[in-house]
Amino acid sequence: RTLGATGAAHVIPLLTCHYRHVSLESMPTLPWATPKQRPPLVANPTVMASKFQLRDRRDVPAFFLAALKIRRQMLNSPGALGVSLIAKPLSGTFFTLSAWESREHLEAAVVGHPHVETMKRFAARTAQSLFTFWTPGSDSRPTWQEAHRRLDEEAAKTDHR
């Protein structure tokens, strides 16, 4: 507990340990982001939520970096209204939430670079992939609560097939 002559020798390891603890235990949600060129309000947007469960947690860093690149791609795609991401590194689970002017805009974006290459690269490394789509009843931004509820419903359907 005593500090060295400069005081830094003991402070830096404490900060490093704290940082490592936070980064391993939880990853904050990347909040809802909208494109720089924000489109006008859309009466019936398409919302998509997804869940990816990786087979091996050693793939988490690469998948997370790829997810950040895809997030940037989606925000620059025509018809994008907004995106958000939740990463749970200890469980190897990732959730996405996005809104689009139309289903056609979403479908055009997912075949673009780097999304399509990333999905091919991680297909065999993914234990579970779930997707759900809906049109919200109002112009309000989709919520994570709604997304998780709908993903749970989709998982229940998949479990009974």
The whole-model pTM stands at 0.80
Contact 129, 44 (CB under 8 A): no
* C-alpha to C-alpha distances, 110 to 85, 101, 118, 143, nearest whole angstrom: 16, 14, 10, 21
36 phi, psi to nearest 5 deg: -60, -40
Give me the phi and psi of 83, to 5 degrees please: -145, 155
Say what the pLDDT of residue 138 is: 67
**For residue 27, what pLDDT is reported?**
58
Instruction: Output the pLDDT for position 28.
Output: 64
Q: What is the pLDDT of residue 139?
A: 64
Counting as low any pLDDT under 70, the low residues of the chain are 1-28, 39, 138-139, 160-161
pLDDT at 147: 96
Question: Helix 103-110 and helix 115-122: axis angle, to 10°?
Answer: 70
The predicted pLDDT at position 65 comes to: 94
pLDDT of residue 42: 79
Q: What is the pLDDT of residue 2?
A: 38
| Phi/psi at 123 (5° precision) | -55, -50
Q: What is the pLDDT of residues 23-67, one digit of tens each?
A: 444 556 899 999 988 767 778 899 999 999 999 999 999 999 999
How would you list the strands of the sheet with 30-33, edge to edge? 30-33, 80-88, 93-100, 46-54, 126-134
What's the first-to-final CA gap in the chain, in angstroms? 59
pLDDT for res 158: 81
